[in-house]
Structure 1
Amino acid sequence: MADDRIKEKLEILADAAKYDVSCSSSGSDRKNKKGGLGNTGAGICHTYTEDGRCVSLLKILLTNHCVFDCAYCVSRRSNDIKRAAFTVQEVVDLTINFYRRNYIEGLFLSSGIFKNADYTMERLVLIAKKLRQEHNFNGYIHLKTIPGASDDLLNEAGLYADRLSVNLEIPTETGLKLLAPEKNRKDMDVPMGYLKNEIIRTKEEKKIFRSTPKFAPAGQSTQMIIGASGESDMHIMKTADHYYSEYNLKRVYYSGYIPISNDNRLPGLGSDVPVIRENRLYQSDWLLRFYGFKRDEIVNERHPNLDLDIDPKLGWALRNLHQFPVDINRAPYEAIVRVPGIGVTSAKKIVAARRFGALRMEHLQKIGVSANKVRYFISCQGFVPLMSDRPAEMIKHYILAASNTKYKKVFNQQLTLF
């Protein structure tokens, strides 16, 4: 009977946890110790590290009871759902048992809020502490911190967890007040600021004292729900850009709102946010973090929303055709990495390879660039850009047509006309 009850809790609380997408395990290098259990770096949620490695995590809520009544949350106080709560020891036992069966490599633990923030946070921290100290567990642990919890509890959480996160939930403060009037943005900003300062402080201390314990070695992240309160992509990216620069976040996650009620403050049932919108936001996020783009180059007052048909770098290029073609054999890295179809790795390879001789289109294809896109935006030895005098909409049409196998033959025939 006890096992049946645990299984029922697991089904309820794992299902409730699916709405939180911020569970990447990238960035930690916690190593196993002699006689320990688990290893962050080794191979029931599947997530991916920044280098593309797939990692399995036990992803659950401690409880789906909550004192708040946020309109967008399935666990909100007023929602008529089946409630459950794990004990601290049940989560510890589940994690260890799942790990020993090679089902998981780590734990992602969030929670609704029992009673108050500190009461809930104490239990999250105790789970991580028992795993580390009593079971010598060295696998990945991501704790969702509770806004309003004390600094002492946040500090303790950082000593046992690899990553900590505070969810912003709604991109703008106006949207948060509309859909979660019991919450305020300050309660989210304050713990983020504390975590930022502690991460910096412990890194600096570790340079002097090697015995300084690690504090949240995989940093902190956050999540925003997209489409619940009507913000444009410009508002969303503005918020993300702010938190990256002010709080040194490792990641911002974007979760498309899934309609769960008929609340008139929310989009109606059946108006799910397209997955492609999430993908475009992640691509824009990548451009900010790794490609040297400024936010207003991607989204601005004139173009407040991302084009769902094409990726944001291609969208920027089509709006800025005057910056092309880029001479692959002469242009700096910063210009090459902005060419549609050329990623960071390929751009570095191009800069390194051209020192040994002029590059041709066949060389670029071997390096791994997307010929379908780059052919409109570059010049190199023996090649001039296609349709360089054509309008952006025509170039967009041909790129989309060439990526669709049904139209490739037509595309190639039409291309010969120019």
Structure 2
Amino acid sequence: MSFERVQEKLNILADAAKYDVSCSSSGSNRTNTNKGLGNASNSGICHTYTEDGRCVSLLKILLTNHCIFDCAYCVTRKSNDIKRAAFQVQEVVDLTINFYRRNYIEGLFLSSGIFKSADYTMERLVSVAKKLRLEENFNGYIHLKSIPGASDELMREAGLYADRLSVNIEIPTEQGLKLLAPDKNRADFIKPMEKVKNEIIQYKSEKKLIKNTPKYAPAGQSTQMIVGASGENDMQIMYTSNYFYKNFNLKRVYYSGYVPISYDTRLPQIGTPVPMLRENRLYQTDWLLRFYGFNIEEILNEQHQHLDLDIDPKLGWALRNLHEFPVDVNKADKRMLARIPGLGMKSVFKILHARRYRQLNWDHLKAIGVSLNRAQYFLICASNQFETRDLTAEKIKGLILQNTKSKYTSMLSNQLNLFG
């Protein structure tokens, strides 16, 4: 195979992979052994930046963009008139190793269209990972996209060589899936996720008894949903996420705004992409559920089925529950501190530590890093200076938005002065 042909394949299949956003981090603890190649660190592998500030990258490609399905929302669907290509297993292995040796990448994210069958496709994805681990002694990060409907045997083998596995459930509701991908069945997505969950549980149990038990998907599993393709509201999307978090021990759920790519009466019109701000609000809600102790019903319910795009979901909850405030930061427990708008979890832990030695006032909170622009309306501390308490939720929202816009305008003005 000529270099030009491999380069052509790479251009096609890397471009086709850009719609999958679920490769942000690994969380793997796979370490280099026996003078192997690469290392997957605990801090995570990203295609942008890690938590410790490192800019890193993955080779993010499809094995093929041929597909037997005709999902309306997918650029690789069989009826779409696009240029097709397929890598051989060895070509992906060689690309990964060559790119790694040139310091272009730190790992591989490999997905695929489904050709022939789920097992046929999954077998080739596993072959890539297996060759990298056993033949090339590659210890870098590998994320494999699990193929819906793949056999339990292949899913078990995949987890022995990949750091993370993921199955995209694609559409948040079964009704939406039937509308846009009538050939697919939600049960086919559930099966490999259930297998991976059980294998991870078994691995952790055996690890306690047998120290050298082979690792199984050390970075866990994740999934992705397309937002805005089939009309689900925010409540439906987040209730689906909550279900998968609770029942499959997922590490992450990713939310990908639908990008209109072709005309179809079942889909949003071309030229009307999902606002990035909606994705951001969904991620913020996801964060509240996983790290801030919120229940899904507190944020989204029959009375509040949509997230407010103007303000973050924690502020939205606080404005709907003003009877819970003000909170005394010198007395409140961790759960209630975490519910104060303007306080992140780092600030919460700093407050819990600092108040052991002194009564905290506004200056202390500002030094800790509390966003007083928001928090001042919801807390009290060791200070006589305080905002008026007779403000309504609408007035507080207006003041916060006004201050936020003022800060943005001031920052923009400073940038123009600096470069103008």
Q: Distance in 1 between matches of 2:224 and 2:13?
A: 19
**In the alignment, which residue of structure 1 is the partner of 2:310?**
309
Please say if residues 66 and 113 of structure 1, whose CA atoms lie closer than 8 Å, have aligned partners that are also in contact.
yes
Counterparts of 1:117-196 in structure 2 under 5 Å?
A: 117-196=118-197
Per the alignment, residue 296 of structure 1 pairs with 297
Structure 1, unaligned stretches of length 5 or more?
410-418
> What letter corresponds to residue 314 of structure 1 in structure 2?
L
> What's 1:28 paired with?
28
SS at match of 1:404: helix
Aligned partner of residue 229 in structure 1, secondary structure: coil
Give 4+ residue runs of structure 1 displaced > 6 Å after superposition: 42-45, 406-409
Identical aligned residues as a percent: 70
Q: How does 1:8-407 map to 2 (within 5 A)?
A: 8-41=8-41, 46-49=47-50, 54-383=55-384, 385-405=386-406
Tell me how far apart the structure 2 counterparts of residues 295 and 52 of structure 1 sit (CA, whole Å): 31
CA deviation after TM superposition for structure 1 residue 384, in Å: 5.2
Where 2:286 maps in the other structure, the secondary structure is helix
Q: What is the distance in 2 between the residues matched to 1:274 and 1:399?
A: 22
Q: 1:407 to 1:367 in 2, by over 3 A?
A: closer
1:267 Cα shift? 0.7
Compute the displacement of 1:228 (Å): 0.2
Structure 1 counterpart of 2:204, one-letter code: K
Q: Name the aligned partner's letter for residue 12 of structure 2.
A: I
Give CA-to-partner distance per residue, 1:133-163, whole Å, 9 cap, x none: 1111111000000011111110000000000
User: Aligned letter for 1:15?
Assistant: D
1:408 is displaced (CA, Å) by 7.9
Using the size of structure 1 for normalisation, the TM-score is: 0.95
- State the shift of 1:300 in Å: 1.0
The 3 A distance-change label for structure 1 pair 392 and 52 is farther
Task: Using the TM superposition, give the Cα deviation of residue 44 of structure 1 relative to its aligned residue in structure 2, in angstroms.
Answer: 11
- Cα distance in structure 1, aligned partners of 2:161 and 2:274: 36
C-alpha displacement of 1:253: 0.2
Which residue identity does 1:32 align to in structure 2? N
Aligned-partner Cα distance in 2 for 1:408–1:261: 38
Q: C-alpha separation between the residues in 1 aligned to 2:383 and 2:204?
A: 51
Q: Which structure 2 residue ranges, 5 or more long, are not aligned?
A: 411-420
Q: Secondary structure at the match of 1:156?
A: helix
Q: CA deviation at 1:387?
A: 3.3
Letter aligned with residue 10 of structure 2? L
Deviations 1:158-195 (A, max 9, x none): 00000000110000000000000000100111111111
User: Matched residue of 1:97: which SS?
Assistant: helix
1:167 and 1:131 map into 2 onto residues whose CA distance is 24
Instruction: Describe the SS at the equivalent of 1:396.
Output: helix
Q: TM-score, normalised by structure 2?
A: 0.94
The secondary structure found in structure 1 opposite 2:6 is helix
Pair 1:244–1:201, CA change in 2 (3 A): same
Q: Deviations over 1:181-233 (max 9, x none)?
A: 00010011111111101000011001000121010000000000000000000
How much has 1:49 moved relative to structure 2?
A: 4.7
Q: CA deviation at 1:52?
A: 6.1
Structure 1 residue 51, shift from structure 2 partner:
6.2
The residue type paired with residue 296 of structure 1 is E
Q: Deviations over 1:87-123 (max 9, x none)?
A: 1011001111111111111100000011000110010
Q: 1:101–1:157: structure 2 CA closer, same or farther, 3 Å change rule?
A: same
